[in-house]
Amino acid sequence: MASGAQLMELEGHSDGVLSVAFSPDGKQIVSGSYDRTARVWDSANGAQLMELQGRSSLVNSVAFSPDGKQIVSGSDDKTVRVWDSASGEVLQELKGHSSYVFSVAFSPDGKQIVSGSRDKTVRVWDSANGTQLMELQGHNNYVSSVAFSPDGKQIVSGSGDRTVRVWDSANGTQLMELQGHNSWVRSVAFSPHGKQIVSGSGDQTVRVWDSASGAQLMALEGHSGWVTSAAFSPDGKQIVSGSRDKTVRVWDSASGEVLLELNGHSGWVFSVAFSPDGKQIVSGSYDETVRVWNVHSLYL
């Protein structure tokens, strides 16, 4: 098993960190927290660059736009907000969900935003003017995670109903329902080439699916707690997962072998993501910290 070293511990949040993401150029990290703020950090030295305030409830999900100029956040206050990543100004407040917004993401062209909510719906918005374009219905429990495919033509969602669903992003038609998890699905993401989907679940597994057929390709077992977050590396060769067992794991996406186990968090790990060059991983935890890990050895 290769080694992975902790590079930095970013401190500043006053409560658990629920969501983390790198900027497209890898120079910044954004985090969302129970403390009702989103924060932007310098990924080179860990300095806090900005604190995005104004939420009346916890921030469940954060993401940068593809050009890095905006940040989107989803909150228990039932809204989606779009921020200017340079000034911290609120550009849009998207209202329509009737309950907590658990997950948000930009489309690859940055023109749309997708959100998933406790109200059981997936919604698609115009990122420029905040207009709701579509409401995707079909899940019979909360929607905990959403993401666009790399070509922007599909949306994947994971839910408390234990299913992963794939939707046509142009017309909102449900294309597939992927079944296999025996507990709620906490996290979903497409691979960089769009041919696979990864999901993490309360059943303590990470599963990999064929995005064309819906066939389950692998079940990655090893975590001893809920898998709260899962994502592919930029080259698609690895999968990173975070868990309530307080660990971050890196898996070989072809074989399912565990390549790294990153230990250091003293609380549940809620969110994980690779840097754009794949050499670092960021994780957010209930222990109120954001941690950055070096996984460069995977590429040697």
Ordered structural domains, the chain, with CATH: 5-299 (2.130.10.10)
Q: Could you tell me how far CA 128 lies from the centroid of its own chain?
A: 22
Name residues whose C-beta falls within 8 Å of residue 250's C-beta, 6 or more positions apart in sequence: 4, 238, 239, 240, 241, 258, 259, 260, 261, 262, 281, 295, 298
Q: Is the dihedral of CA 275, 281, 286, 288 positive or negative?
A: negative
Each of the 300 residues of the chain gets a pLDDT tens digit; together they read 555 689 999 999 999 999 999 999 999 999 999 999 999 999 999 999 999 987 789 999 999 999 999 999 999 999 999 999 999 999 999 999 999 999 999 999 999 999 999 999 999 999 999 999 999 999 999 999 999 999 999 999 999 999 999 999 999 999 999 999 999 999 999 999 999 999 999 999 999 999 999 999 999 999 999 999 999 999 999 999 999 999 999 999 999 999 999 999 999 999 999 999 999 999 999 999 999 999 976 655
How far apart (Å, rounded) are the C-alpha atoms in residues 208 and 185?
13
SS3 18: strand
What pLDDT does residue 56 have? 81
Global confidence as pTM: 0.96
Residue with tokens 């340079």: 86
DSSP letter for 288, please. Answer: S
How far apart (Å, rounded) are the C-alpha atoms in residues 26 and 277?
8
